[in-house]
Amino acid sequence: MAYQLLFVCLGNICRSPSAENIMNHQIEKAGLSDRIHCDSAGTSSYHIGSSPDRRMAAAAKKQGIELKGSARQFEVDDFEEFDLILAMDRENYRNLIALDRTGQYEDKVRMMCEFCTRHDLKEVPDPYYGGPAGFDRVIDLLVDACEGLLEHTQKQL
């Protein structure tokens, strides 16, 4: 059984699909594709079925990473299916915890930035309404967080 990671942001078109694809890139490089699986979701239903934001895809491409997938909304069943659920910001975290009515999955929900080793931000900022530099910054931050997360996940295997 593979270790299951779920990345969550608001709309599932910028931050969480970037984290999912960056993590998959790093997992592949580490030769662990058969042992770790990733997915992403949004807390809202705004963009269900949409591809990742083109500005985010352009920023990821500069790092040699292709953004694949289509947006979906987080479902309560995801608590059961995934070993670790990674929220991009505090609002996403609070929304996830609110869906866990019994409190039994709280230990599965973590902040993405907890795994950063080079950046000291506590949240992954939403670049949606900003300029290109914001998208590049988010990619750099997520590369850092995914490196730390991969190290953490390897210890869990």
Report helix, strand and coil shares of the chain as percent, to nearest 5. Answer: 45, 15, 40
Active site residue 9: yes
Active site residue 90: no
Comparing CA positions, the residue from 55, 51, 73, 60 lying closest to residue 23 is 60
Active-site option among 14, 15, 53, 136: 15
Determine the 3-state secondary structure of 111 from DSSP: strand
Active-site option among 39, 89, 126, 136: 126
Active site residue 55: no
Rounded to whole angstroms, the Cα distance separating 68 from 151 reads 23
Q: Which residues are catalytic?
A: 9, 15, 126
